């Protein structure tokens, strides 16, 4: 069960100095992962982060062995992170070489490098546990992360690294955005595409290495993929997406750390990822741009517009209406009575529908390129889609014969 007072204390940074430092590190890591992951997603290279994360394990093991060999404990965090970074860049170089020099596609190359490096890393960890050198206890926490045993200086180191990554993303956001969307324009603007890709890979590697201690190499890829995917449901603008993705990542890190601090023996890394996954599900369901529920609402609203327009035109022509959905819509709008007889409101709405259909016909005649767009536009009131000057220009093509409601001048016919 969640200890509510402890959870509140963790959220308000009153759960102790070390917990507050770990929370700040997780927030910065989540922000950095979300912003870097945005460019990774837009560049369609999300799987590269998986290869990089798994390729860090041999570097951690080798760095531990080297430091222990020279008489150290082997647990010096900057040394372990440096080994992880070197190993990750080696893995990335292997993926690029296999992609360029062989017939393997990127997915196959990533899978081969990922499995080979990860297997080698597991073997190294097994060997380390049997050698009895250094302080090998807890070295396996790099697989799934561990904040409970994190020292203050380690938390500060990770927080500083995450902050540096976030600042680099902010500084280079424009060239990275151009490369993601239009390589030709970026090249003509003086941006070196290869250097931009290398910068992006460096940022991904930095987030991966920084997140090893917090969420582990297996789950760190989630901080690079889930926040930008969730943010994509909320917006079509790149700048907004970068901010939203960073915010989702930061909230995931903060809430996950607070939950871990309030429940005994609950690892922070998996909880952070689960919070991010929960935010993704919320975005998937409720986001106004691409959410499932909004999509269902929009489809239902479109269907109502179609039935309303068809029903009003049927009233105008004096035709019987047999479609049950059309009848329901017309009754709900008080356009027909229970027996199907049109009301005064329905007759007026039918006149207006006829007028707008005629106006749209002229508009499409004058603007044939807008046919696809106008197919949906014409279901809305024309005043919401065209300006008053455009409507006045279209009305010059009409004269008004008697209408269905019996009032002259409200119907329109093309001259």
Mean pLDDT over 9-14 rounds to 77
Does residue 289 or residue 127 have the better pLDDT?
127
Q: In the chain, which segments carry CATH 1.10.3470.10? A: 4-286
Q: Which CATH superfamily is domain 4-286 in?
A: ABC transporter involved in vitamin B12 uptake, BtuC (1.10.3470.10)
271, 252 Cβ separation under 8 angstroms: no
147, 20 Cβ separation under 8 angstroms: no
- According to the model, what pLDDT value does residue 410 have? 41
- According to the model, what pLDDT value does residue 148 have? 59
**How far is Cα 186 from Cα 177, in angstroms, rounded to an integer?**
9
- According to the model, what pLDDT value does residue 81 have? 81
DSSP letter at 212?
T
pLDDT-based confidence at residue 161 (cuts at 50, 70, 90): confident
Angle, CA of 122, 125 and 128, to the nearest 5°: 155
pLDDT-based confidence at residue 398 (cuts at 50, 70, 90): low
* pLDDT value at 408 more than 50: no
In this prediction the pTM is 0.76
* pLDDT value at 60 more than 90: no
Q: How many CB atoms lie within 10 A of CB 56?
A: 30
**How far is Cα 397 from Cα 355, in angstroms, rounded to an integer?**
12
Select from 130, 131, 117 the least CA-distant residue to 60.
117
List, for residues 248-291, the tens digit of each pLDDT value: 999 998 998 888 888 877 777 888 889 999 999 999 999 887 88
269, 143 Cβ separation under 8 angstroms: no
* pLDDT value at 105 more than 50: yes
* pLDDT value at 400 more than 70: no
31, 223 Cβ separation under 8 angstroms: no
Select from 273, 248, 279, 283 the least CA-distant residue to 34.
248
């Amino acid at each position: 069960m969640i200890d509510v007072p402890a959870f509140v204390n963790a959220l308000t940074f009153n759960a102790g100095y070390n917990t507050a430092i770990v929370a700040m590190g997780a927030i910065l890591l989540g922000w950095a992962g979300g912003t870097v992951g945005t460019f990774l997603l837009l560049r369609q290279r999300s799987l590269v982060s998986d290869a990089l994360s798994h390729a860090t394990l041999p570097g951690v093991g080798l760095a531990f062995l080297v430091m222990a060999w020279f008489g150290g404990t082997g647990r010096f965090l900057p040394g372990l992170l440096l080994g992880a970074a070197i190993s990750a860049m080696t893995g990335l170089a292997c993926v690029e070489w296999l992609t360029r020099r062989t017939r393997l596609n990127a997915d196959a190359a990533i899978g081969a490098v990922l499995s080979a490096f990860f297997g080698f890393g597991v073997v190294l960890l097994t060997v380390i546990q049997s050698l009895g050198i250094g302080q090998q206890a807890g070295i396996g926490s790099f697989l799934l992360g561990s904040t409970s045993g994190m020292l203050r200086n380690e938390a500060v180191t990770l927080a500083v690294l995450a902050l540096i990554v976030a600042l680099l993303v902010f500084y280079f956001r424009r060239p990275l955005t151009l490369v993601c969307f239009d390589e030709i324009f970026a090249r003509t603007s003086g941006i070196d595409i290869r250097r931009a890709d290398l910068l992006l890979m460096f940022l991904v590697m930095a987030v991966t290495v920084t997140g090893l201690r917090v969420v582990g190499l297996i789950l760190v890829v989630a901080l690079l993929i889930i926040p930008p995917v969730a943010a994509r449901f909320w917006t079509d603008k790149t700048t907004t997406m970068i901010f939203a993705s960073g915010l989702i990542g930061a909230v995931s890190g903060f809430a996950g750390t607070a939950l871990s601090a309030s429940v005994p023996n609950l690892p922070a890394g998996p909880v952070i990822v689960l919070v991010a996954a929960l935010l993704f599900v919320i975005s998937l369901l409720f986001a106004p741009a691409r959410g499932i529920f909004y999509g269902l609402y929009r489809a239902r609203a479109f269907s109502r517009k179609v039935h309303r327009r068809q029903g009003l035109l049927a009233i105008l022509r004096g035709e019987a209406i047999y479609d049950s959905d059309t009848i329901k819509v017309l009754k709900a709008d008080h356009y027909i009575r229970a027996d199907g007889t049109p009301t005064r409101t329905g007759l007026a709405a039918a006149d207006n529908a006829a007028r707008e259909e005629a106006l749209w016909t002229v508009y499409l005649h004058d603007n044939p390129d807008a046919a696809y767009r106008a197919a949906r536009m014409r279901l809305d009131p024309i005043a919401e889609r065209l300006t008053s000057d455009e409507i006045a220009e279209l009305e010059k093509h009409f004269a008004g014969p008697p209408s269905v409601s019996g009032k002259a001048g409200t119907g329109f016919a093309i001259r």
